[in-house]
């Protein structure tokens, strides 16, 4: 269900002409604490990725700088910036849809969670609803080429 909501956030982002990525933070009790889609264009902020927006909102909502026990659902493998943020927010588990061979930071690229000295190691589950997440991205970028 949470990935379904993240995909809906990604669709909303695409409708706003943002790269279609959506994220949801789920509390240890299973309730959705926050959800967001990319807003880099709308906010003129290169760091306004769905994951960061969702984790920031979850931290505000839970009144804690750490999201211990919380899970992050995101439609695309987090980039290095978002992967590092998940470490600092102490996310329990990162569940993502499409793999990002060029810009990913977990299974690809710098593999943030495998770096020496990584402060916290979230569990990772990749490829959840991968086909649907990848199709959103492909159609978004195909329309721009």
Which residues are designated catalytic? 51
Interatomic CA distance for residues 94 and 91, integer angstroms: 7
β strands within 4-54, DSSP E: 22-26, 32-37
Helix, strand, coil percentages for the chain (3-state, nearest 5):
40, 20, 45
Q: Where are the beta strands (DSSP E) in 27-98?
A: 32-37, 71-76, 93-98
């Amino acid at each position: 269900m949470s990935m379904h909501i993240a995909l809906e956030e990604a669709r909303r982002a695409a409708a706003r002409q943002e790269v279609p990525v959506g994220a949801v933070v789920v509390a240890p009790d299973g309730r959705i604490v926050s959800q967001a889609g990319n807003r880099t264009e709308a906010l003129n902020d290169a760091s306004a990725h769905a994951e960061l927006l969702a984790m920031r909102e979850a931290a505000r909502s839970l009144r804690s700088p750490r999201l211990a026990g919380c899970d992050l659902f995101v439609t695309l493998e987090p980039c290095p910036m978002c992967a590092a943020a998940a470490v600092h927010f102490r996310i329990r588990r990162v569940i993502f849809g499409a793999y990002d061979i060029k810009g990913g930071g977990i299974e690809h690229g710098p593999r943030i969670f495998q770096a020496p000295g990584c402060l916290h190691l979230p569990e990772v589950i990749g490829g959840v609803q991968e086909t649907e997440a990848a199709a959103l991205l492909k159609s978004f970028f195909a329309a721009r080429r």
